[in-house]
Amino acid sequence: MRKDPPRCKVQEIALQRLNPTKRTSDRFLTEPRRNVPVVAEVDILVAGGGMAGLTAAITAGRMGLRTLLVEYFGHLGGNATNGLVSGFCGFYTRTENTVPIVQGIGGEIVRTLIDREAGIKVRPRTLTDVDILTDPEMLKLIFDEKAIEAKVEPLYYTQAVSPIIQNDIVKGAIVENKGGRQAILAKRVLDCTGDGDLCARANVPFELGDGRGGFQASDMVFRLVNVTKGDIDPKELEGLQAEAINSGQYKLTRIGGGLEYNMISGVYGVQMARLPSAVNGIDPYQLTRAIIQGRKLVRECTRFLVGKVTGLEQAAIVQTNEKLAIRETRRVLGEHILTAEEILNGTKFDDGIGANAWPVEIHIPGTLETRVLRLKGDGFCTIPYRCLIPQKIENLLMAGRFISCTHEAQSSIRVMGPASVMGQAIATAAALSIKERVSPRKLKIRLLQSELEKAGVFLG
């Protein structure tokens, strides 16, 4: 019988501090009616500028559609930039002869990064080693350029807060920014928010975490400078971590993670500061307490790295992520719910719109270890188009970690490779559905697959 992973020493305190916030009152305030100005009318509105939203917007722009991309931060990239997750995952199979399954726009982005010396391909030593190492600051510049070249109109410091719906048909979205509350009308809306915000506010059914109050663990990612030896063997690092925890001198919350070269001499990204208890990423009070705790964990991780790891004796923290690296919040229900069994068996779906090869990688809060399961056979499954179509609503599509899947399947599908595949697929579907004058739900799958193949997407 499998033993439960060891518990973190700091967990009990963390659980007390991160309990979900309860309402202190049953009172509500009714807002007065107000006129909301329509500031734009576009073909495609993309909400969220992470990897899914970026590839979606570029796709729509290149297909000749007027495309507006709204993003809460002042740049694109999501976890790759504001989250400092500088390693791209899920772009290649984990088989003996690796296959680049993310082609299309995602593959083009990787080639651009390598050509511009803003990224480097990695030869994985473990099942969860990243595929590409990047410089987050150069990513911001390159992503801006890609969007502008595709004639996409980015609108930064703006959040999509509510879909505009008539008779269960999405007609655009309400956004808010320093200019106030505004309306953007669109023929199709693409929810790439990472948390399914627009889908949830359109009353599409969703599941939250594992359904029992648990979520994939979150990380506080940071960057170090003055690193003189960054190529640390993963097994060596794990041994040092275990030794440090057993000694009682360090309160580490994870065994594993690692140091990732950031394309700048002496600068490395570190993903070791795992939050010790589950964080509900759609509860702003929990998020606030978690990121405060995360900064303390970063200091403890750095104390360990400086004190115990050769080559990091002079290392210092230069940056922590501006947004906590959240792995899981909502999972919005679509026409099909992707399961871990389907992923692990390498299922090839009739309505597949791209491939996913990342293992099932479960980060359990309150434990030191990470559970990893390899895909069977040729090392990849395909992603069903049905998982990108929300239930009960028309002209709204979704891409990213919150698509229709189970809690365990989400631990595979959530990374940047499949996100870029999904983003290109939903934008292509949106464009074709406008041209064909049908709902995206009723779009002929062979037409979509044919268009994706023309764009160089790997369908398996």
Same domain membership, residue 229 and residue 375: no
Give domain status of residue 29, yes or no. Answer: no
Q: Determine the pLDDT at residue 25.
A: 64
Per-residue model confidence (pLDDT) at position 6: 44
Helices (H), 208-339: 234-247, 284-308
Pairing of strands 152-155, 67-70: parallel
Counting every residue written for the chain, the total comes to 460
Same domain? For 379 and 309 the reply is: no
| Residues 263 and 195 occupy one common structural domain | no
Task: Please tell me whether residues 387 and 253 are part of one structural domain.
Answer: no
The pLDDT, as a whole number, for residue 15 is: 34
Q: Which of 258, 286, 320 is the last residue of a domain?
A: 320
Q: Which helix (H) or strand (E) holds 253?
A: none
- Across 119-192, where does the E strand assignment appear? 119-121, 132-134, 152-155, 159-166, 169-177, 180-191
- Distance, in Å, from the CA atom of 250 to the CA atom of 373, rounded to the nearest integer, reads 29
Query: For the chain, which residues score pLDDT lower than 70?
Result: 1-25, 230
Domain membership of residue 373 (yes or no) is yes
**What is the pLDDT at residue 19?**
45
* CB-CB contact of 67 with 73 (8 Å): no
Q: Report which residue type is found at 187.
A: K
The residue behind tokens 């004796």 is 313
One domain for residues 237 and 170: no
| Domain stops at, among 280, 303, 320 | 320
Of 277, 292, 320, the one marking the end of a domain is: 320
pLDDT at 11 (0 to 100): 36
- pLDDT, one tens digit per residue, over 75-100 is 999 999 999 998 999 999 998 888 99
188 plus 207 within the same structural domain? yes
Return d(Cα 25, Cα 23) in angstroms, integer. Answer: 5
CATH of the domain at 276: 3.30.70
| Measured CA distances, 322 to 200, 330, 460 (Å) | 24, 21, 36
In a domain, 363, yes or no: yes
Is 236 inside any structural domain?
yes
Q: What is the CATH number of the domain that holds 57?
A: 3.50.50.60
Both 64 and 196 in one domain: the answer is yes
Written as six digits, the tokens of 365 are: 């809060």
In a domain, 9, yes or no: no
Burial 343-377 (b: 16+ CB within 10 A, else e): bbebbebebbbbbbbbbbbbbbbbbbebebbebee
Residue 168: C-alpha distances to residues 81, 174, 262 (Å):
35, 16, 46
* Same domain, yes or no: 306 and 384: no
Pairing of the two strands 396-398 and 119-121: unpaired
Give yes or no: residues 58 and 131 share one domain. yes
Residues 355 and 441 in one domain: yes
Q: Are residues 301 and 363 in the same domain?
A: no
pLDDT score at 37: 97
Domain-located, residue 31: no
What is the phi/psi pair of residue 442, to 5°?
-100, 5
- Domain span at residue 414 reads 38-212+328-454
Are the beta carbons of 223 and 269 closer than 8 angstroms? yes
Q: How many CA atoms lie within 13 A of 343 on its CB side?
A: 27
Same domain? For 301 and 413 the reply is: no
pLDDT digits 0-9 by tens, 281-306: 999 999 999 999 999 999 999 999 99
Q: Is residue 28 part of a domain?
A: no
Q: How many domains does the chain have?
A: 2
pLDDT digits (tens, 9 = 90+) for 317-346: 999 999 999 999 999 999 999 999 999 999
Residue 17 lies in a domain: no
